[in-house]
Amino acid sequence: MAKDIFTEENFQKLQNVINEYKGKQGPLMPVLHEGQKIFGCLPLEVQKKISESLKVPLSEIYGVVTFYSQFSLEPQGDYVIGVCLGTACYVKNAQPIIDKISKMIDTKAGETSQDGKFTLVATRCIGACGLAPVMTINEEVYGRLKVEDVPGIMEKYL
Q: Tens digit of pLDDT for each residue in 96-107? A: 999 999 999 999
Peptide bond into 43 cis (omega under 30): no
Q: How far is it, in rounded angstroms, from Cα 28 to Cα 18?
A: 9
Per-residue confidence at 3, pLDDT binned at 50, 70, 90? low
The mean per-residue pLDDT over the stretch 11-27 comes to 96
pLDDT at 2 over 70: no
pLDDT at 37 over 70: yes
Per-residue confidence at 9, pLDDT binned at 50, 70, 90? very high
Q: How far is it, in rounded angstroms, from Cα 107 to Cα 88?
A: 24
Per-residue confidence at 45, pLDDT binned at 50, 70, 90? very high
Per-residue confidence at 1, pLDDT binned at 50, 70, 90? very low
Q: What is the DSSP letter of 6?
A: -
Mean pLDDT of the chain: 94
SS3 at position 23: coil
Q: Edge-to-edge, what's the strand order for the sheet holding 79-84?
A: 111-112, 118-123, 79-84, 135-137, 140-142
pLDDT at 84 over 50: yes
Q: How far apart are the first and last CA of the chain?
A: 17
User: C-alpha 59: how far from its chain's center?
Assistant: 21
Question: Could you tell me what percent of the chain has a pLDDT over 90?
Answer: 86
